Every structure is written in C-alpha cells, then in structure tokens.
Structure 1
Amino acid sequence: MDTSLVLLIVLGLVVVLGLYVAATYNSLVKLRNRVEEAWSDITVQLKRRADLIPSLVETVKGYASHEKEVFDQVTRARAETVSAQGPVEAATAENHMQQALKSIFAVAEAYPQLQASQNFLELQSQLVDTENKIQAARRFYNGGVRELNIKIQTFPNNLFARMMGFTEREFFEVENVAAISEPPRIEF
C-alpha cells in the first residue's frame, strides 16, 4: 500500500509539472507571436512612411531645387529605414529619419508657395498620421516585449523557457529620444 501511494503521489506531481510546462510553453508561444505581430506592424508603418518620402521630396524639390544636401540626407535615411533589420537597426534608422524630416520641413518653411500647395499639404497630413501610427506600433511592440521578457525571466518559468528555445527580445528604443519625442513640427 505504501509503495502504491508514493507512486500515485509521484505520478500526480509529474502530471502537474507536465501541465505547468505545457501551459508555460503555450503562453510563451502566444507572447512571442504577439511580439512578432507587433514588429510586423512597426515595419508596415515604417514602409508606409518610406513610401511617402519620395513624393514629399519631389514636391519640395520643385520649389527648392538648390537644397540638394537635404534631399540626399532624406534619401539616405529612407534607404536606411527600409533596410533596417531588427529593433536596434530600426531605432538608429528612426533617429536619422527624424533628423532628415526636420531638415526637409525646415526647407519647406522658407517657401510660402510650397506650404500652400495642396499636394504638399496632403503629404504632410499623411506623414503626420503615419508618425502617430509608428508611435502607437512602437508602444504596442514594447508592451509585448515587456510581457514576453517578464514571462521568460520570472521563476519558475526561467527554468524552462530557455530550454524550450525562448529568448528575450530587444525593446525598440531610439538612440536620441529628444529627436523623436514629437512628430516633425509643421508650421504655417
């Protein structure tokens, strides 16, 4: 009788441990997929902004053709944004893009007829909307990363998470927070 009671207790503990590991694994998969979805949202918005940039540059070029350095800076920043792989590269590219956008809007301020152009106004509006969406996507991504990292790092999950192939993710943090604390300023 004692042997079967001990065996039953051990079997019960194994079942409970198995259920715990399965539940932990499933919740980690769910969080990992949420983070990947959030990263995808960021890349979609960055791509959308990158697609708007050539139109904006062409519109401004028509009025300020002698501002070649600004246009080159915007083109380089766009290429860097499109080719960024992962949060660290994207954050660096984001910083460069914000600086480039500030430069192009500074050029635009010098040309009142450009500021009155319907095409330019529409592009500005779309760009501001996209910047807001990028900010929201970054918050969603970083929230998902926080939840995943907490789940991986807390005890007893940390005993199993790495063995099951789960690793912590990097936050989407921008190098120069002051540069992106606000969307590009648009003044008329």
Structure 2
Amino acid sequence: MGSEGSYSEDTGTFDTGKIDLSGLTTPTLTFYIYNIIGEDEANNNELSVSVVHNGNSTLLKTFKMYELSDKDGWVKVEVSLNDYKDQIIQLRLFSHHALLPYILIDNIRIDNLNGSGIETTVDSSTKIYGGTGKIIVTGANGQTLSIFTPDGRLISTQKVTETDCYLTAIPGIYIVKVGQFATKVVVK
C-alpha cells in the first residue's frame, strides 16, 4: 500500500475495516515501511498510526522516516495495541509528505507481541528492556552486548562493565544481544 503526495505538505488517510483483537494476549500491529533516502536532505516524511475505538480516534505512534534507518529499504516497525485488548477497533494510517512524494508500507499484521517493548528475561539475573530514549540492560556485567537495527546491521558492541547499563537510543526498534541471547526492544 502506498501514499503519494503531489506537493510538499500533502497528506493522506487510510482507515481499515473493523478488527477484532479477541484472543490476543499482547496485541501488536507490525508492518514494514520503505525508507527512501533523499539526495540532499533527510527524509522527514511521517506516517502516524491511530486507533479508532467507540467513535474516538487516538494517536498511538508517529514514525519519521529519517529516524527509522539511514539506508534505503524496508524497515519493520511495531505499535502496541495492548490498551485495546479484546476490543473491536479500526486502524487509521495518516501520511504526511514533508519532502518526498512516496510513503510505502507492506506486510501489515496484527498478532501477539514477540518480545518487543516488554522486559525480557535472559536468565535468572539478566533483563533487557526499552525505555524513553534508552535501552536498559541489568545483570549482564562481564557479558558482551551488541545492538543491531531490525534489518540486522550492527550499531555497536561493548563489554558490559556494570550491573545496570543504560544506553542512549533514538526512538525505534532494536535487536539487543547479550551473550547468546537476542531480543527485540522498543525505545520510545
């Protein structure tokens, strides 16, 4: 699915039909968005995701293209729908074309959350989770910590030297690996 803007500041809206979230314990919307790199400027196009429930629209997340990746290509993103568990909702996708004419999305899916945004236990003493502007790892002292983009590009690797490790990160989705364990983390 795509949105095309003919002029700077064009917008578009796509509303889904009704979606029943019954039976999902951690309902999460996932989809891929195509990041297009501009020649002279960062791609500051935006895609916002809202939920329409009982006649009210609530903004859940806005994705700025330049924050997702610094390379052309598909990037997987996630949006928690936990506040609407066991409800019937609609999704509203709103595109804002601030620079480039296209916003493309694919593989839209609603399913149970798979390790992202929720504290994940690596073993009895190590935990990995995302916070506001940071990735938090506790109990991994002495282990190797690696952070990857969702498409598998290595961002950083370091040896953890403290019991609690706080890493500054821009909002987005990361794969965090401690020792041989890896999990997805959402930074808000």
TM-score interval, normalised by the smaller of the two chains:
under 0.3
Greater per-residue helix proportion:
1
Structure number with larger C-alpha Rg: 1
| Greater RCO (Cα-Cα under 8 Å, separation 6 or more) | 1
- Compute the TM-score of the two structures, normalised by the length of structure 2: 0.21
Greater per-residue strand proportion:
2
